[in-house]
Every structure is written in C-alpha cells, then in structure tokens.
A and B are shown apart, each in its own frame.
Chain A
Amino acid sequence: MAASTRGTVLKKRRLSLAALRESTTAQGLALIAPTALYLLVFMIVPMILVGILSLMTRGPYGNVVYRLNFDNYTRLIDPLYLRILMYSIGVGAATTLITLVIGYPLAYYIARVPARQRNVLLFLILVPFWTNFIIRIYAWIMILRTEGLLNSFLLNLGLIKVPLDILYTPTAVLIGMVYEFLPFMILPLYTSLEKIENAQLEAAADLGARPLASFLRITFPLSLPGITAGSILTFIPAMGMFVVPDLMGGAKTILIGNLVRNQFLTARDWPFGAASSMLLMFLTLAMTLYYTRKVGFSEDLLV
C-alpha cells in the first residue's frame, strides 16, 4: 500500500517534471533571468543614464541642471580635446603595435616547442597576468625613476654621467602600457597559432614553398583572428587607461580616460564628462565592429 502510494507520487512528480522539461523556453528564461536582471540594473540602466546626462547642462556649482543641451558634444571638437583624442588613439595604436611586434614571435615560439615545455612557457606568461596591475606599474616606477635602479646601474657602469629622466615622460607611459598589455596580446596569438596544422605547412614545403613564403601565405593569414583579438584586447583598454598615465606620465600626459575621470572628480562637470565617456564608448564599439567584420573573430580567443 505504502509502496504503491509512493509509486504514484513518484509518477506524478515525474509527469510534472516532464512537463517542465518540455517547456525548455521557460527553463532557459529562468536560468538567464538573474544575469539579465542584474546586468539591466547595474550596466544597461547606468549607461543609459550617462547618455541622458551627456545632454544636460552643468549648473554654476558643479551640479547638473536638467536642460537639454548639445554643447557637451560640440565642445569635444575644440582643438584642445581633439588633441587629447588623437593622442589617446596614438598611444593605443603604439601600444598595440609594439606588443604585436614583441608578442608575435614569442607566441610563435611557444606554439612550436614540445608540449611539456609549452605548458611551462604559457604558465610563465600567466603569472604576471594574474598579478595585480598596480604592482606591475610600481615595479617599473622603481626601475625608471631618477634615483631608480636603471639610473644607478648605468651610473655605476659609467655609461652615463647624469641620470636619465625617463619616468614622467611619454616614453615611460609606453613602457608601462606595453608591459601591462603584453599578455593580452600573446594569449590570443598563441591560441590561433597553435591551431595551425603541421600538415598544412608540410604540404607547402612539399610543393616547394620556402619557409618565408609558407609563413606569409599560410601561417600569417591563419593567425589573423588572433591578431584581431589581441589588438582589440590591447588597443581598447590602452586607449581608455588613466592609471598608467597618472602614475608614470606625470601631469603632462592626458589621455581620454584621464579627461573623463577629471571631469567627474576634479572639474565636476558631469555632463561634459558623460559626453566624453560616450565618445570613448562609441569609438570602441565602432572599432570592435569594424575589426571583427573585416577579419573575422572567434569568441573562444577571448577566454
């Protein structure tokens, strides 16, 4: 008796679960709901608010007056801000190019060594990547400052007579940026290079291609998705970065990230800061779309 009741209960539960299993749409929605809601409240709504704020007016005391106004965007065409924008793009591009030139041969090398060694080499790339990034900047401050390790080393060797002023210059900013973003370039490059089948290269060699020709016509084109992913992952954060310029560039280096930060926290012109932030966001989205459409982009390179 008891057993048979239990049996019917089980059967009933099975049935209702079967019904639930049938409606996979409801299940899917239930699983995605927390993420969708969370990102709606803490990402989408805040961004919309910034968009609205960028069309408002700054009040006399740094407060926000809710009066429609497009001046915040026209102000961005001012030569002063255009120069900041061009400089940010320049720093982003230089960082991307240097990390690519350094990272590509290294990724190529890692992809060609035996598997055991490869794991060690990848591990060594990951360690600094997982280490705090302010600590990494600090290491370079220690080395580059006027009384720093590089200068005392060169002075002791007698190679220079006066200490070099490297810290708080644009060069220092580039050194810091390249160091920060190198792993972001190497990892996607490695992922795409590692996928290339040896058979393809052998076939090319069998058909008489010299190493250079087979690199240019097989390896390089096949690594383009990695170059795209690496460039996006380097260029965009480099362009919006304000911590490296703050710590290593002194007051002279102002990137668009610094501009946004300053408008919000120092100048207290929130509407203009919001407009600069919108510009930065549109720039990054436009570039991402352009690059991914042009070269193709595979999402597994990101993670």
Chain B
Amino acid sequence: MSEKKPSAWLRLFSALVYLYIYLPIVLLVIFSFNKQKLNVSWEGFTLSWYQELFRNQQILLAIRNSLTIALVSTIVATIIGTLAALALQRYRFPGYTLTESTLYIPVIIPEVVMGISLLVFFSLIGVRLGLGTITLSHIAFSIPFVALVVRARLHGFDKSIEEAAMDLGANELTTFWRVTLPTILPGVLSGALLALTLSLDDYVITYFTAGPGSTTLPLRIFSMVRFAVTPEVNALSTIWVATVFLVLLIGQMVQNRQR
C-alpha cells in the first residue's frame, strides 16, 4: 500500500489514538516523581519513591523471583521451541499435523483455562506449588510462541548453504553451529525475547501455580494496586517501561543495520 496521501481526518484520528495509548503511560511516569503520596495533584519533584522502591524487601524478592523464573524458562523454552521449529519446517514425520495444531492451543485458549489445568495437575500429583511449578508452567506456554516465531523466520532459509558446508567437509554438528544457527539466530533471539516478556508479564498462569514465598513481580504489583494507589508502583512502572523501550529500540536498530 502507501502512495496516496492519507487525508487530514485520518491523520487527526490516528494522532488521537496515539494520545489515548500514551497519555496513561506518560502520566504514570510523571507522577512517579511527585511528592504527594495520594497522587491526586502535582506537588513537586522528588526521587524518594525510587529510593523507597529499592528499600522495599518484598518488591526486591519479587523482582528476584521474576528474573529467576524468566531466565530459566526462556533458556529452556528457546532451546526446545527452536528444535520444534526446525522439525516442523524441514521434516515430515508421523503425528506432524497433530503436534502442529497442538502448538496453537496455548496461543488460542484463555489463560485461565491453562492456569487451572496446571493447578489441578500439580495438586493431583502432589507437587508443592512454588518457583518450580511456576517455571515449569512458563516453559509450557512459551515453547509454542518460540516455535511459531522461529518457524516464521525459517521460511526464507536457503538450504543450499548447509549443503555447501557439508560438501566442503563440515559434519552435521559443525554445519549446525557455524552455518544454520548464525543464520536463524535473529529468529531465535526474537523468540527468546518474546518468551522473556511473556514470562515477566504473566499474571494469570503464575497466579494459579504460585505458592507461599514465590510471589512474582506482577503478583506483587497486583496486590499493591488492588485497593490503593501508590507512587512506588509508578516508580517501578517507569523503570519497566524505560527498559522495554530501550530493549525494543536496540532490537529495532540491530534489525535496521542488518537490512
């Protein structure tokens, strides 16, 4: 598409939608520097909420839990999911269609359904809920997303480079490490980034599979904002949004350079 210039109305409408998307986030950031605890009106600039945030042991524990779960589940899901993407893109085997459609289940069914299934499963086999069960669950919902993303990137992969490498004497493993992996790496990395985000973001499935002492950041934020507004959460949100913005910006720049 493109070419014909969009009309002024369309332009105005789009600007308003962007305002709708960003105004809440901008307000969130501004009020993280506000002196007033109740966040009703602007009273003056302060950094004290950030200091308080880093003194809050419960939040620090939640950050540590969230990062541990996200790191482990991302690594495992990225490896398993990438193998699945390779299998689906390049091979035919018995049960192909079945596994392929199974991969779409977590993408399509509501999270609450998956959450209670895992809760039922873990309690029936008698596993104590905690960091372990959360991590196992995060791996389960991340694998399909990684597989789908990596597979989409594999579509354009030229198999003849691999054949060339093997003709030149490289064995399968060397070919994989030196040729295949570097070529599909951007896809694998975006799959990993998605898995990391899904894990850090997840509330619903974590809620059903968490036990005492395994509160993650989304669970902590939820209980903090349930009945009250607190600038500490604004400070935390500001750090979060800034991190996401930077990571995405770097990702975009890397992608642009590759083109």
Write the residues of chain A forming the contact surface with B, with a CB cutoff of 8 angstroms: 13-14, 17, 20-21, 24-25, 27-29, 31-32, 34-36, 38-39, 42-47, 49-50, 53, 102, 105-106, 108-115, 118-119, 123-128, 130-143, 145, 147-149, 152, 179, 182, 193-194, 196-198, 201, 232, 236-237, 239-243, 246-247, 257, 260-261, 264, 270, 273-274, 277, 280-281, 284-285, 288, 299-300, 302-303
Contacts and interface: CB of A to CB of B under 8 A. Distances in A.
Interface of B: 1-6, 10-11, 13-14, 17-18, 20-22, 24-25, 27-28, 31, 38-41, 80-81, 83-84, 86-88, 90-96, 99, 102-103, 105-114, 116-121, 124, 136-137, 139-140, 143-145, 147-149, 152, 171-172, 197, 200-201, 203-204, 208, 217-218, 221-222, 225-226, 229, 233-234, 236-237, 240-241, 244-245, 248-249, 252, 256
Given A25-B94, A241-B110, A277-B112, 6 more contacts: A32-B91, A36-B102, A39-B103, A106-B17, A132-B200, A236-B108
Contact of B87 (A32, A108, A132): A32
A273 B148 CA distance: 31
Given A35-B84, A273-B116, A243 B222 contact: yes
B4 to A, nearest CB: 7
Given A39-B143, A179-B24, A124 B112 contact: no
A288 B101 CA distance: 13
Interface centre among B10, B92, B112, B140 (most CB of A within 10 A): B112
Contacts of A50: 113, 116-117, 120
A54 B163 CA distance: 53
A71 to B, nearest CB: 19
B237 A28 contact: no
B221 A105 contact: no
B172 A17 contact: yes
B240 A132 contact: yes
A127 B244 contact: yes
B91 to A, nearest CB: 3
20 contacts: A31-B87, A32-B84, A35-B143, A38-B140, A43-B106, A49-B124, A108-B10, A111-B2, A132-B237, A134-B218, A134-B225, A135-B221, A179-B21, A239-B110, A243-B204, A260-B112, A260-B116, A264-B208, A274-B116, A288-B108
A219 B186 CA distance: 32
Given A28-B87, A28-B92, A124-B18, A240 B113 contact: yes
Contacts of B88: 32
B120 A247 contact: no
A146 B79 CA distance: 48
A36 B147 CA distance: 12
B32 to A, nearest CB: 11
Contact of A42 (B40, B99, B140, B222): B140
Given A125-B21, A303-B152, A47 B117 contact: yes
A245 to B, nearest CB: 12
Q: Which 3 A-B pairs have the closest CB atoms?
A: A240-B110, A28-B91, A31-B87
Contacts of A128: 21-22, 25
Q: At the interface, is chain A mostly helix, strand, loop or mixed?
A: helix
Contacts of B118: 42, 46
Contacts of B200: 132
Contacts of B201: 132-133
A193 B240 contact: no
A31 B84 contact: yes
B229 A142 contact: yes
A127 B18 CA distance: 12
Contact of B1 (A112, A179, A288): A112
Contacts of B229: 138, 141-142, 145
Contacts of A257: 110, 112
B51 to A, nearest CB: 20
Nearest to A128: B21
A157 to B, nearest CB: 13
Contacts of A123: 248-249, 252
A153 to B, nearest CB: 9
A193 B1 contact: yes
B48 to A, nearest CB: 18
Given A35-B99, A128-B21, A113 B152 contact: no
